[in-house]
Structure 1
Amino acid sequence: MALFYYHALRRNGQKHKGMIEADSARHARQLLRSQDLAPLKLEERHANSANHTKRRIFQRRVRSADLALFTRQLATLIQAAMPLEECLRAVGEQCEKVAMKSLALSLCSRIQEGYTLSDSLREHPQVFDSLFCAMVAAGEKSSRLDNVLNRLADYTEQRQRMKNRLVQAALYPVILMLVAISVVSILLTVVVPTVIAQFAHLGGALPASTRLLIAISDMLQASGLAILAVVFLLLMAAQKVLRHARWRLRWDRFVLYLPLIGRVSRGLNTARFARTLSILTASSVPLLDSLQTAARVSSNHYVEQQLLLAAERIREGSSLRASLAESGLFAPMMLYMIASGERSGELDTMLAQAAENQDKAFDMQVGLALGVFEPALIVVMAGVVLFIVVAILQPMLQLNNMISH
């Protein structure tokens, strides 16, 4: 079977495009007509051709919400005891987005060729990470693929919720900062020069605050664009430097020791590790393999390095709790819950609970940080505006005194 990309017309004249699986181009046209679609354009997609690049473009367009829905639908159909290839074909037919339809049909073709689902997923690394593939492989071995896929859907949805929470937490202060900087810049480059020009005849008799304000205003007018360009170039240079593993490792370690950001980053990464390890152990993945996979889920390279070292210590005979404690990354309560899970044989449950507690702590920290940031920014802005107003009023008062005398 081959994949065909098509453009077609519905009966109402509306254009439609997508992917379809068929034995030949003629078969593909027959299938489209059976769906009340009039084919306009039909192109065969070969996996090992230049169209592989387009397939990768499709993969990048797959969002976490779409992946979670795809996983949930596949789990439901597998639970209904349908053959895997029929499940994938049915999910593909239900998908409205071309990227997901192409993905489902591509997986179906690989299954028909005799590959396992986990091996087929590894052909799409831009969509399915090592965690996803490892869990599916474990589900295939244990014949609990439907349960594993449901866990993966829950995990993907939870990760997307956390990502959205992070974006919202970062977006609000960034917007406030940009608005504050824009307002101050407009005041200094447009309003202040017009007002201060009225006192130019006073020369050196101007108050120190007014002279400082004029100097700042002149600098922004003369070099404002140059300053923006320098900041932009510095950011680009920093991004390029951080692509090197050695500098990225140093930076990630430095971030962990920042007053507030470090605590939040440490909490997020340890919670992600605990949740991932919980899902893997519950899916009967061996502990060492689970640790290595869960470590690579971390967004911080230093945290990943320390977790991989913990996995090596466990390989040498140390307990999970003791190995993680040596990394210095985990909160005492999380370590206590991990130790309790090891003793009781319910490690997956305790890890999931520890991750849940860490997520709640993160929400509290974000709420506290935003609650402190907003009034602090208002105070700073009020101070800047007060300085500008005083610097403008002082020469006015001085001029009035000169006239009165």
Structure 2
Amino acid sequence: MAYYNYRAIDEESRIIKGKIDAFDEYELDETLNSKGLRLIEATKSRFALNIKPKLNEKDLLSFTYFLNLILSSGIPIMSGLSNMAQQSASKKISLASSFLQSKLEAGKSISDSMLEYPQIFPRYYTSMVRAGEVSGNLEQILDDLMSYLEWHIRLKKDIRSALAYPAMVLTAVAALIAVLFIFVMPKFIKILTDLKVDLPLPTKILIFTVGFLKGYWPLVILFLISLPVVYKVIYNTATGRQIIDTSILKTPLFGELVRKLNHSRYFRTFATLYKSGLSMDETLRVSSDVVKNTVISDSFYRVTNAVLGGEQLNKALKDSGDFSPLLLNMVEIGENTGTLDNTIIKISNIYDKDITETMKRIFTIIEPIIILLLGGIVLLTLASFFLPLYRIVGGIHK
């Protein structure tokens, strides 16, 4: 299926411009004729071929805001989507609006239209929209979706802010080491080799390292650049992803942080979906899908199967062995009192606070480690240079 920009003329001789997807120009012509339009010109949209797999969360939030505005203000949805497609500053939002408009014009519901574009609208999103359509409360559902997206954007921003300082320090350390080994140390090494004395092991290691970096620096850079690519290739395999995700969870402190991030995402999604009116079965399935770590998602899928088999949620979570007694008690109370959605939101808030504390603890530990690493490199470099001089001076005194 291709995506077309078209110009057409209506029954009142007005020129109409728009965008629509069709298998070919014949189908495009038939579709426009059914709307009382006669095709003048059509070109395939190159941007449609380059659309990214998903709208990022900021784009999706903006789209949700404008869709909610259209519905709440009483503007006909076709007219509103057409305006979004033509006037939005974001090409991705414009394209998403056009896609949605074309499916609605074919007689499909909003949620069914979104289901045809999973690369644009995530599963949890379409599930909630469908629940809103069924309940007749779509505007409130869109409000809940905006709150969810705002929460996730804020969480990611907090994490990036927390990572910024350690990343800057590590980059500075790496740059300092590179300058030291590539530009400064070769001059000192020439002095040491000209002395023609038996060099100690640290000095030999230093000379070898500097020589290797100086002689093969293009290969070193190529190796460093290739690491993310190799990682992505391995991670995209089922076995590789399982091994990497398992190793991450076993990493001290970082594993704890990843676990809390995934748990928070799961419970926040669960609460938002369940509150929207989705069944427990679908809420559990969709919430498990948003978990990024395969080990944790497998654990939640087992919880889903247990609940579908008749167990209570708190019992299924307890059997997984991943949750504290406090959390399990909260879930049990929520189930018994019919306030599970509010209880799960409180649990997600608890995880959010724990995430902040865990990040602070990690960076409190990382900072002195970085300082020790830098100090160790400087100390080793100085020792490598001064040990031969010390031997020479000692030999002269003898």
Give me the TM-score of the superposition, normalised by structure 2.
Answer: 0.84
Partner in structure 2 of residue 130 of structure 1:
123
Q: Compute the displacement of 1:23 (Å).
A: 5.1
Q: Determine helix, strand or coil for the equivalent of 1:263.
A: helix
Do the aligned partners of residues 277 and 97 (structure 1) sit closer, same or farther apart at CA in structure 2, a change above 3 Å counting?
A: same
Between the aligned partners of 2:12 and 2:170, the Cα distance in structure 1 is 59
**Aligned partner of residue 314 in structure 1, secondary structure:** helix
In structure 2, the residue matched to 1:294 is: 287
Q: Residue by residue, what CA displacement relative to the aligned partner does 1:300-337 show, whole Å, maximum 9, x if unpaired?
A: 12222221121111111111011122223334433232
Unmatched segments (≥5 aa) in structure 1 = 7-21, 32-41
- 1:381 matched to 2:356? The reply is no
**Offset, 1:194:** 0.8
Aligned partner of 1:206 in structure 2 is 199
CA RMSD of aligned residues (A): 3.0
Alignment of 1:52-201 (within 5 A): 54-55=47-48, 57-58=50-51, 60=53, 62-92=55-85, 94-201=87-194
**Is the CA contact 1:45–1:51 (under 8 Å) kept in the aligned structure 2?**
no
| In structure 2, C-alpha distance between the alignment counterparts of 1:378 and 1:26, rounded to whole Å | 75
Hey, what does 2:23 align to over in structure 1? 48
What's the secondary structure of 2:196's corresponding residue? helix
* 2:22 maps to amino acid: A
Q: 1:368 aligns with which of 361, 369, 373?
A: 361
Distance 1:99-1:257 versus aligned 2 partners, 3 A rule: same
Q: Is 1:352 matched with 2:327? A: no
Alpha-carbon separation, structure 1, partners of 2:323 and 2:389:
60
The offset of 1:68, in angstroms, is 0.7
Gaps of 5+ in 2: 25-42
- Given the alignment, which residue of 301, 305, 312 partners 2:298? 305
Partner of 2:210: 217
Q: CA deviation at 1:224?
A: 4.2
Q: 1:233 to 1:77 in 2, by over 3 A?
A: closer
Structure 2 Cα separation of the partners of residues 395 and 109 of structure 1:
78
Contact 1:4/1:28 (<8 A) preserved:
no
Deviation (angstroms), 1:151: 0.7
What one-letter code is carried by the residue in structure 1 that aligns with 2:295? Y
Q: Distance in 2 between matches of 1:396 and 1:232?
A: 38
Pick closer, same or farther for the CA change 1:315–1:30 going to 2, 3 Å: same
Q: CA deviation at 1:398?
A: 4.1
Matched residue, 1:39: none
Matches within 5 A, 1:309-328: 309-328=302-321
Kept after mapping to 2: 8 A contact 1:270/1:330: no
Secondary structure of 2:323's match? coil
Structure 1 runs of 4+ with >6 Å offset: 25-29
CA distance in 1, matches of 2:210, 2:13: 68
Asked whether the 8 Å contact 1:68–1:154 carries over to 2, the reply is no
- 8 Å CA contact 1:59–1:124 kept in 2: the answer is no
**Which residue identity does 1:251 align to in structure 2?**
I
The separation in 2 between residues aligned to 1:136 and 1:101, in whole angstroms, is 20
| Contact 1:266–1:329 (CA under 8 A) maintained in structure 2 | no
Higher mean C-alpha deviation, range 190-199 or range 166-175: 166-175
- Matched AA of 1:319: Q
**Gap change, CA 1:60 and 1:238, over 3 Å in 2:** closer
SS in 2 for 1:259: coil
One-letter amino acid of the structure 2 residue matched with residue 200 of structure 1:
T
Return the offset for 1:162.
2.0
2:82·2:98 contact (CA, 8 Å) conserved in 1?
yes
CA deviations over 1:32-52 (Å, ceiling 9, x no partner): xxxxxxxxxx78654335947
Cα separation, 1, equivalents of 2:333 and 2:158: 30
Deviation at 1:114, TM superposition (A): 1.6
Give aligned pairs, total. Answer: 379
Aligned match of 2:38: none
How many Å separate the matches in 2 of 1:148 and 1:279?
9
Kindly state the Cα deviation for residue 98 of structure 1 after the two structures are TM-superposed. Answer: 2.8
Structure 1 residues 314 and 376: CA distance shift in structure 2, 3 A:
same
Residue among 220, 226, 233 paired with 1:240: 233
Instruction: Call closer, same or farther: CA 1:102–1:213 in 2, change over 3 Å.
Output: closer
Q: Which amino acid aligns with 2:101?
A: C
Give me the identity figure in percent.
24
Which residue identity lines up with residue 242 of structure 2 in the other structure?
A: L
Deviation at 1:400, TM superposition (A): 4.4
- Partner amino acid for 2:123? S
Mean Cα deviation higher: 89-98 or 157-166: 89-98
- Aligned residue number for residue 33 of structure 2: none
2:275, 2:184 → 1: CA distance? Answer: 64
Match in the other structure for 2:36: none
User: Is the 2:21–2:99 contact (alpha carbons within 8 Å) kept by the matching residues of 1?
Assistant: no
